[in-house]
Amino acid sequence: RKEWLYTPIARIFVERAEWATLRPRALVAHARAGVLATLTYVTKLTKELDKMQEVVSAALVGGNEQDADEKQVRIIELMSELALYPKDVRVTFETYDADGDQRLSRSELTAFLKAFGVQVTAGDAASVMNLLAGEGG
């Protein structure tokens, strides 16, 4: 199966001067979708955790310790799951900015893209960096 950007029809929709940016743009879009999906999932889990904590509090106030204990199991599961993911975009960035210089090097960018399901080569990473540098970073 070919990616859309490799089909002749893809080039109909962009100027010839932009053909070289098709793949880097697709990679950035793919990574953006992965980050947004991850953060959406984290938000969902966080809301569920907050709700469970309310339920446990209400069960304890109502004297139903058995129900509270059962819900505590789910709270522990949610907390364990949430520990696997970044809390927000800044934390996501900081996770991959290994040297803490507030910029992603080519290797850091490659690790970031791969973590979000984007298969990249060293050349792809360089193309993405050039694309982003041309758009103001």
pLDDT at residue 51, rounded to an integer: 97
Q: Please check the confidence at residue 57 and state whether its pLDDT lies above 60.
A: yes
Of 1-10, 27-36, 68-77, which gets the smallest average pLDDT?
Answer: 1-10
- pLDDT by residue (tens digit) across 74-133? 999 999 999 998 888 888 889 899 999 998 899 999 998 888 888 888 888 899 998 888
Range 36-42, long-range pairs (CB < 8 A, 24+ positions): 38/85, 38/86, 38/92, 38/116, 39/86, 39/88, 39/89, 39/92, 41/85, 42/82, 42/85, 42/86, 42/87
| CA-based end-to-end distance of the chain | 32
pLDDT at residue 47, rounded to an integer: 97
CA angle 69, 72, 78 (to 5 degrees): 160
Q: Please check the confidence at residue 6 and state whether its pLDDT lies above 70.
A: no
Rounded distance between C-alpha atoms, residue 91 and residue 113, angstroms? 15
pTM of the model: 0.73
pLDDT at residue 95, rounded to an integer: 87
